[in-house]
Structure 1
Amino acid sequence: MAIIVRLDVMLARRKARSKDLAAFIGITEANLSLLKSGRVKGIRFETLDRICEYLDCQPGDILEHEPDAEA
Protein backbone atom coordinates (compact mmCIF):
# COMPACT_ATOMS: atom_id res chain seq x y z
CA MET A 1 0.00 0.00 0.00
CA ALA A 2 1.17 3.50 -0.75
CA ILE A 3 0.15 4.93 2.65
CA ILE A 4 2.68 4.32 5.42
CA VAL A 5 1.57 4.69 9.05
CA ARG A 6 4.26 6.28 11.24
CA LEU A 7 2.26 6.18 14.47
CA ASP A 8 4.92 4.17 16.30
CA VAL A 9 7.50 6.87 15.47
CA MET A 10 5.29 9.63 16.89
CA LEU A 11 4.57 7.59 20.02
CA ALA A 12 8.31 7.18 20.58
CA ARG A 13 9.02 10.87 19.95
CA ARG A 14 6.36 11.89 22.45
CA LYS A 15 7.39 9.14 24.89
CA ALA A 16 3.75 8.04 24.94
CA ARG A 17 2.40 4.55 25.51
CA SER A 18 0.05 2.78 23.13
CA LYS A 19 -2.14 1.79 26.05
CA ASP A 20 -2.69 5.42 27.07
CA LEU A 21 -3.34 6.54 23.49
CA ALA A 22 -5.88 3.75 22.95
CA ALA A 23 -7.72 4.76 26.12
CA PHE A 24 -7.73 8.44 25.07
CA ILE A 25 -9.07 7.62 21.60
CA GLY A 26 -11.59 5.11 22.88
CA ILE A 27 -10.42 2.06 20.93
CA THR A 28 -8.92 -1.23 22.02
CA GLU A 29 -5.18 -1.76 22.17
CA ALA A 30 -5.64 -4.53 19.58
CA ASN A 31 -7.24 -2.10 17.12
CA LEU A 32 -4.53 0.48 17.79
CA SER A 33 -1.94 -2.20 17.07
CA LEU A 34 -3.62 -2.95 13.74
CA LEU A 35 -3.58 0.76 12.94
CA LYS A 36 0.10 1.09 13.89
CA SER A 37 1.04 -1.82 11.65
CA GLY A 38 -0.90 -0.42 8.69
CA ARG A 39 -3.20 -3.44 8.50
CA VAL A 40 -6.39 -1.37 8.32
CA LYS A 41 -8.30 -0.27 5.23
CA GLY A 42 -9.15 3.18 6.59
CA ILE A 43 -9.32 5.48 9.56
CA ARG A 44 -12.10 7.79 10.68
CA PHE A 45 -11.27 11.47 10.73
CA GLU A 46 -12.56 11.57 14.30
CA THR A 47 -9.99 8.93 15.30
CA LEU A 48 -7.22 10.74 13.44
CA ASP A 49 -8.24 13.98 15.15
CA ARG A 50 -8.02 12.35 18.61
CA ILE A 51 -4.60 10.85 17.80
CA CYS A 52 -3.29 14.23 16.68
CA GLU A 53 -4.76 15.89 19.75
CA TYR A 54 -3.11 13.37 22.09
CA LEU A 55 0.28 13.44 20.35
CA ASP A 56 0.18 17.18 19.56
CA CYS A 57 0.98 16.58 15.91
CA GLN A 58 -0.40 16.93 12.40
CA PRO A 59 -1.88 14.09 10.29
CA GLY A 60 1.17 14.32 8.03
CA ASP A 61 3.37 13.40 11.00
CA ILE A 62 1.53 10.07 11.22
CA LEU A 63 0.63 9.23 7.63
CA GLU A 64 3.00 9.29 4.68
CA HIS A 65 2.41 8.62 1.00
CA GLU A 66 5.05 6.41 -0.59
CA PRO A 67 4.27 5.55 -4.20
CA ASP A 68 4.61 1.90 -5.13
CA ALA A 69 7.79 1.07 -7.01
CA GLU A 70 5.79 -0.96 -9.54
CA ALA A 71 3.32 1.80 -10.39
Structure 2
Amino acid sequence: MLVDREMTKTEMREALGLSSSTLAKMGKNEYVSLEVIDKICSYFGCTPNDVIEHKKEQEG
Protein backbone atom coordinates (compact mmCIF):
# COMPACT_ATOMS: atom_id res chain seq x y z
CA MET A 1 0.00 0.00 0.00
CA LEU A 2 2.88 2.34 0.73
CA VAL A 3 4.35 1.70 -2.71
CA ASP A 4 1.01 2.32 -4.41
CA ARG A 5 0.75 5.69 -2.64
CA GLU A 6 4.44 6.49 -3.14
CA MET A 7 4.71 6.93 0.61
CA THR A 8 7.55 6.13 2.99
CA LYS A 9 7.12 4.40 6.34
CA THR A 10 8.08 7.63 8.05
CA GLU A 11 5.40 9.57 6.13
CA MET A 12 2.81 6.96 7.13
CA ARG A 13 3.95 7.12 10.76
CA GLU A 14 3.60 10.90 10.81
CA ALA A 15 0.24 10.89 9.00
CA LEU A 16 -1.23 8.40 11.48
CA GLY A 17 0.44 9.82 14.57
CA LEU A 18 2.27 6.59 15.35
CA SER A 19 5.41 6.41 17.45
CA SER A 20 8.71 5.29 15.99
CA SER A 21 8.67 2.34 18.41
CA THR A 22 5.33 1.18 16.94
CA LEU A 23 6.79 1.38 13.46
CA ALA A 24 9.81 -0.62 14.66
CA LYS A 25 7.53 -3.30 16.13
CA MET A 26 5.72 -3.59 12.82
CA GLY A 27 9.03 -4.02 11.03
CA LYS A 28 10.00 -6.83 13.43
CA ASN A 29 6.63 -8.59 13.15
CA GLU A 30 5.94 -7.90 16.83
CA TYR A 31 2.58 -7.22 18.47
CA VAL A 32 0.89 -3.89 17.77
CA SER A 33 -2.47 -2.90 19.21
CA LEU A 34 -5.75 -3.20 17.39
CA GLU A 35 -6.00 0.57 17.68
CA VAL A 36 -2.95 0.87 15.41
CA ILE A 37 -4.40 -1.65 12.95
CA ASP A 38 -7.66 0.34 12.96
CA LYS A 39 -5.81 3.59 12.21
CA ILE A 40 -3.97 1.96 9.30
CA CYS A 41 -7.16 0.43 7.87
CA SER A 42 -9.10 3.68 8.19
CA TYR A 43 -6.31 5.66 6.54
CA PHE A 44 -5.81 3.25 3.62
CA GLY A 45 -9.46 2.20 3.28
CA CYS A 46 -8.67 -1.48 3.71
CA THR A 47 -9.47 -4.38 6.04
CA PRO A 48 -7.25 -5.92 8.73
CA ASN A 49 -6.62 -8.92 6.46
CA ASP A 50 -4.85 -6.56 4.08
CA VAL A 51 -2.53 -5.40 6.85
CA ILE A 52 -1.85 -8.35 9.14
CA GLU A 53 -1.18 -12.04 8.85
CA HIS A 54 -1.89 -14.56 11.58
CA LYS A 55 0.86 -17.08 12.18
CA LYS A 56 0.48 -19.96 14.59
CA GLU A 57 3.11 -19.91 17.32
CA GLN A 58 5.56 -22.74 16.98
CA GLU A 59 5.63 -25.11 19.89
CA GLY A 60 9.07 -25.75 21.18
Q: TM-score, normalised by structure 1?
A: 0.58
Identity %: 27
CA RMSD across the alignment: 2.5
Q: How many aligned residue pairs are there?
A: 60
Gaps of at least 5 residues in structure 2 are: none
Gaps of at least 5 residues in structure 1 are: 1-9
The runs of at least 4 aligned residues of structure 1 exceeding 3 Å deviation read 66-70
Q: Assess, with a 3 A threshold, how the Cα gap between structure 1 residues 36 and 55 changes in structure 2: closer, same or farther.
A: farther
Greater fraction strand: 1
Q: TM-score, normalised by structure 2?
A: 0.64
RCO higher in structure (CA 8 A, sep ≥6): 1
